[in-house]
Structure 1
Amino acid sequence: MYRDYSLDKHIIPALPDIIQYRRDSSASFVIIASDGIWDVINNEQVALFVSQRASNKSLSEIISDLFDKCLQEESSDNMTAFIIKLD
């Protein structure tokens, strides 16, 4: 039996967490990622992982490597990540 579900009722609200930080002058990138990343690797580990690869890999290669690392750490959630290089 089919039910008529209203499309305007959301199961999960689309309300983002918004946090403002003062930019540290030594910061070279910003990482935005989903819980598929953060549930298996902490902030410091991700920052170190990215900074160790930033001089010899493209950002897309670093993200691909990051996804592989999360899979090795047994992440079972979907993963999304953005790395924004700061000048």
Structure 2
Amino acid sequence: MSRSLGDYSLDKDIILSIPDIIEYPRNSLSSYIIIASDGIWDVMNNEQVASFVSQRASNITFDYIISQLFDQCLINQSSDNMTVYIIKID
């Protein structure tokens, strides 16, 4: 994932070195920023991941939530590497 970002010499090859950047307006309901690799996004969509995290965030640690998320993705037949960052915003 990050090995190609900014490496413009790879533009001639299959790997794109320019990241997709999408901006979303923040509102009062925004609680987390979730950054994940395609091992997650291949088997769950934005709403599923957001719901998964928000249902658990009030009573368990993020480390444990991420572990459970990985387990859920394996149940959903993910076969790619999985990386997740959950950033709490106030």
Query: TM above 0.5, one fold?
Result: yes
User: Any gaps of 5 or more consecutive residues in structure 2?
Assistant: 1-7
Instruction: Return structure 1 stretches of 4+ with deviation > 6 angstroms.
Output: none
Which residue in the other structure is 2:89 paired with? 86
Relative contact order (alpha carbons < 8 A, sep ≥ 6): 1 or 2 greater? 1
Q: Of Structure 1 and Structure 2, which has the larger fraction of its residues in helix? A: 2
Match of 2:54 in 1: 51
Highest CA radius of gyration, 1 or 2?
Answer: 1
- RMSD in angstroms over aligned alpha carbons? 1.5
Question: What is residue 32 of structure 1 aligned with on the other side?
Answer: 35
How many positions carry a matched residue from both structures? 80
SS at match of 1:77: coil
**Correspondence for 1:19:** 22
CA-CA distance at 1:73 after TM superposition: 0.5
